[in-house]
């Protein structure tokens, strides 16, 4: 070190005095400081201060300057008003009182570890950030980064004076995007501090975690599991899972939790973390979309999607529902109908599962047992309409043409044709993949409903349980007898129809209102019924009643039962929590 630098530094640095003394004893003209924190730039700041030159400190260089001053031991014991003292005053009076500067300083501490940690700069930055997040949003007057900037504009009033006017109120989650640039370890410490304050709403915590995950988790599966980033992605998911709100019923949406579960499976997260996600998802299953449940299966599973995982989630959901029902049993002693009206979430889950079954029905490796188990995992009253279930079964029969008679019977035994809408009944009546007994049931109940109203179903001669529980031998014996009953019923309906036609006007009105639910079957359904009638007379041996006769099936459109779908998260259109 040159002589003109040596003496001014000696006056303010205790360490320089020691190093110079040691070099003199060893008769050495150089002093080596290879481990100097912050490098030449931070040393330059210290040197300028010692020479009385102007030093510019800001959020980007103050941590390096503080670590350098500590290394050089520029304390008050050496000289009054030394560099350490002045930097500490600047930190406490300016940096830690600024939201933006606190974040910048925290980011710079990473390259200066462990010195920045030992000087408690990291801890003080985290405490400052966590405290600021708890400030009433109405008192937020500074600008913040990214697309959540506080909107303000200058307006000129009549007297020529200008004033600042807020265009919109500051949302509760105004801060979540600002801390997204922090590394995982620092982000975890900040969020832990925010939660420990106990003043932040769980929904805001969930929004912050979702925003951070969207910011850093890659979109493609290949990038998730690549050797370069797999460890980091696993650490990220572990961090987010452990930071989820303690109250499992609040915070993150079900869609986000399911996406997190998919990533957790891909990166090989431990079972305890996945189980925690499953429990959280089960509490919000009624909010999920079908696409969210399409979790890719992993080896050794042979199916396209992880049906076992979805089964586990549904089982957890039903356990919660049963527990809630047991707790409220004294308060709620109502019948089944009232119970359904009071549990809209169960109806949502019923539609969700039917939609999911339709999606996975195309999987050639999906077993009949798995399909049936998942279908029966929800109670009967959660499925007041069986159109969705029929669509799923119809799809499964189409994609699995080699099913045995017994398997088809088990599949179709899940359905109750009395719970079909008109559209589903029309489709089922023309679906040649269905077993004969199911088609007869559909034709009978639809004909009775069309001619005599839904009330006559309670006294029908062809009961559903009778048809589905009989053996195939009994079915063959009773086919003619059942068809006789159908013919008699149809004759009665025909007489009523002829009576209406005699009145002229009523006949026209009836023909115009053929789109309503009280109509007779279309011509093709009549022809199929006539064919079944002949077969029931003893000609069924020409064709197997349980097998498919065509490779085509009409398309079913069920109004009001459309499958929900979810869009991907947008990184530029996040909705704030007000």
Domain residue spans of the chain: 1-136
- For residue 447, what pLDDT is reported? 80
Beta bridge partners of 444: none
Cβ neighbors of 503 (< 8 A, separation 6 or more) are none
Q: Do 468 and 509 form a contact (C-beta atoms < 8 A)?
A: no
- Helix, strand or coil, per DSSP, at residue 560: coil
Residuewise pLDDT in 10s, the chain (578 residues): 344 345 777 889 899 888 888 888 887 777 888 889 999 999 999 999 998 899 999 999 999 999 999 999 999 998 899 999 999 999 999 999 999 999 999 999 999 999 999 999 999 999 999 999 988 887 777 655 534 444 444 443 444 444 444 445 788 888 999 999 999 999 999 999 999 988 888 889 999 999 999 999 887 777 777 777 788 889 999 999 999 988 766 678 899 999 999 999 988 888 999 999 999 999 999 999 999 999 998 888 889 999 999 999 999 999 988 877 766 665 555 554 444 444 678 899 999 999 999 999 999 999 999 999 999 999 998 999 999 999 999 999 999 999 999 999 999 999 998 999 989 988 988 888 888 888 888 888 878 877 765 444 444 444 444 444 444 445 444 544 554 455 455 445 444 444 444 444 434 444 444 444 434 444 545 555 555 544 444 443 444 434 333 334 444 444 444 444 444 444 455 666 65
- Cα 472 to Cα 28, 166, 411, 539, 546, distances in angstroms: 106, 77, 16, 16, 10
- Cα 143 to Cα 22, 133, 136, 190, 454, distances in angstroms: 52, 14, 15, 20, 65
Backbone phi and psi for residue 116, each to the nearest 5 degrees, phi listed first: -65, -35
- For residue 74, what pLDDT is reported? 94
Greatest CA span in the chain, whole angstroms? 130
The Cα–Cα gap between 425 and 423 comes to 5
The Cα–Cα gap between 229 and 488 comes to 72
- Name the CA dihedral angle for 94, 99, 101, 104, rounded to a multiple of 10 degrees: 150
- For residue 357, what pLDDT is reported? 96
Tokens of 202: 């769980």
- For residue 163, what pLDDT is reported? 40
- Helix, strand or coil, per DSSP, at residue 227: coil
Beta bridge partners of 153: 165
The Cα–Cα gap between 281 and 273 comes to 12
Cβ neighbors of 244 (< 8 A, separation 6 or more) are 205, 206, 209, 251, 252, 276, 280
Cβ neighbors of 318 (< 8 A, separation 6 or more) are 377, 378, 379
Residue 170 Cα to chain centre, angstroms:
26
3-state SS string for 523-568: HHHHHHHHHHHHHHHHHHHHCCCCCCCCCCCCCCCCCCCCCCCCCC
The Cα–Cα gap between 241 and 238 comes to 5
Beta bridge partners of 105: none
Helix (H) or strand (E) holding 163: strand 162-166
Tokens of 471: 């053996």
- Helix, strand or coil, per DSSP, at residue 259: helix
Task: Count other C-beta atoms under 10 Å from residue 155's C-beta.
Answer: 10
- For residue 200, what pLDDT is reported? 87
The Cα–Cα gap between 42 and 65 comes to 5
In angstroms and rounded to an integer, the radius of gyration of the C-alpha atoms of the chain is 37
CATH (one of 3.30.710, 3.90.190, 3.30.420, 1.10.10) for 1-136: 3.30.710
- For residue 147, what pLDDT is reported? 41
Task: Count other C-beta atoms under 10 Å from residue 514's C-beta.
Answer: 10
Predicted TM-score (pTM) of this structure: 0.73
Provide the 8-state DSSP code for 158: T
- Helix, strand or coil, per DSSP, at residue 38: coil
Helix (H) or strand (E) holding 451: helix 436-452
Helix (H) or strand (E) holding 427: helix 422-429
- For residue 108, what pLDDT is reported? 96
């Amino acid at each position: 070190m040159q002589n003109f630098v040596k003496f001014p530094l000696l006056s303010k640095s205790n360490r320089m005095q020691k190093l110079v003394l040691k070099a003199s004893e060893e008769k050495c003209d150089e002093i080596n400081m290879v481990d100097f924190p912050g490098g030449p730039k931070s040393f330059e700041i210290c040197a300028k201060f010692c020479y009385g030159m102007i030093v510019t400190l800001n959020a980007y260089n103050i941590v390096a300057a503080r670590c350098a001053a500590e290394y050089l031991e520029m304390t008050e014991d050496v000289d009054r008003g030394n560099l350490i003292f002045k930097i500490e005053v600047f930190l406490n009076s300016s940096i830690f009182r600024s939201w933006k500067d606190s974040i910048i300083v925290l980011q710079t501490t990473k390259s200066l570890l462990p010195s920045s940690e030992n000087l408690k700069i990291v801890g003080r930055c985290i405490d400052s950030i966590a405290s600021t997040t708890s400030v009433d949003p109405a008192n937020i007057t500074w600008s913040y980064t990214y697309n959540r900037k506080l909107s303000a504009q200058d307006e000129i009033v009549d007297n020529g004076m200008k004033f600042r006017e807020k265009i919109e109120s500051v949302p509760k989650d105004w801060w979540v995007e600002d801390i997204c640039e922090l590394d995982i370890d620092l982000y975890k410490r900040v969020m832990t501090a925010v939660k420990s304050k106990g003043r932040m709403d769980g929904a805001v915590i969930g929004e912050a975690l979702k925003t951070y995950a969207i910011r850093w988790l890659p979109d493609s599966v290949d990038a998730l599991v690549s050797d370069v980033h797999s460890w980091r992605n696993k650490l990220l998911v572990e961090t987010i899972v452990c930071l989820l709100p303690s109250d499992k019923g609040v915070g993150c949406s079900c869609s986000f939790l399911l996406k997190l579960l998919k990533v957790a499976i891909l990166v090989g997260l431990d079972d305890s973390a996945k189980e925690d996600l499953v429990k959280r998802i089960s509490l919000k299953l009624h909010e999920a979309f079908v696409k969210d449940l399409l979790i890719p299966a992993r080896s050794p599973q042979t199916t396209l999607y992880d049906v076992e995982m979805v089964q586990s989630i549904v089982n957890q959901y039903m356990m919660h529902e049963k527990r809630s029902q047991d707790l409220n049993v004294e308060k709620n002693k109502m019948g089944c109908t009232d119970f359904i009206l009071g549990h809209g979430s169960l109806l949502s889950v019923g539609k969700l599962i039917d939609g999911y079954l339709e999606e996975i029905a195309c999987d050639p490796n999906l077993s009949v047992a798995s399909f049936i188990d998942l279908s029966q995992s929800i109670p009967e009253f959660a499925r007041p309409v069986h159109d969705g279930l029929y669509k799923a079964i119809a799809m499964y029969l189409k994609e699995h043409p080699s099913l045995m008679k017994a398997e088809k019977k088990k599949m179709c035994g899940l359905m109750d044709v009395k719970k079909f809408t008109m559209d589903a009944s029309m489709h089922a009546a023309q679906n040649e993949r269905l077993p004969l007994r199911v088609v007869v049931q559909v034709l009978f109940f639809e004909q009775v409903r069309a001619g005599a109203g839904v009330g006559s179903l309670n006294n029908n001669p062809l009961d559903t349980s009778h048809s589905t529980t009989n053996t195939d031998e009994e079915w063959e014996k009773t086919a003619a007898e059942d068809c006789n009953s159908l013919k008699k019923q149809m004759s009665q309906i025909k007489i009523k129809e002829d009576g209406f036609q005699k009145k002229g006007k009523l006949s026209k009105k009836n023909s115009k209102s053929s789109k309503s639910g009280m109509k007779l079957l279309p011509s093709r359904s009549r022809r199929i019924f006539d064919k079944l009638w002949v077969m029931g007379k003893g000609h069924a041996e020409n064709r197997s009643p349980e097998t498919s006769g065509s490779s085509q099936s009409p398309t079913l459109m069920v109004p009001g039962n459309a499958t929900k779908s979810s869009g991907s998260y947008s990184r530029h259109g996040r909705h704030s929590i007000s």
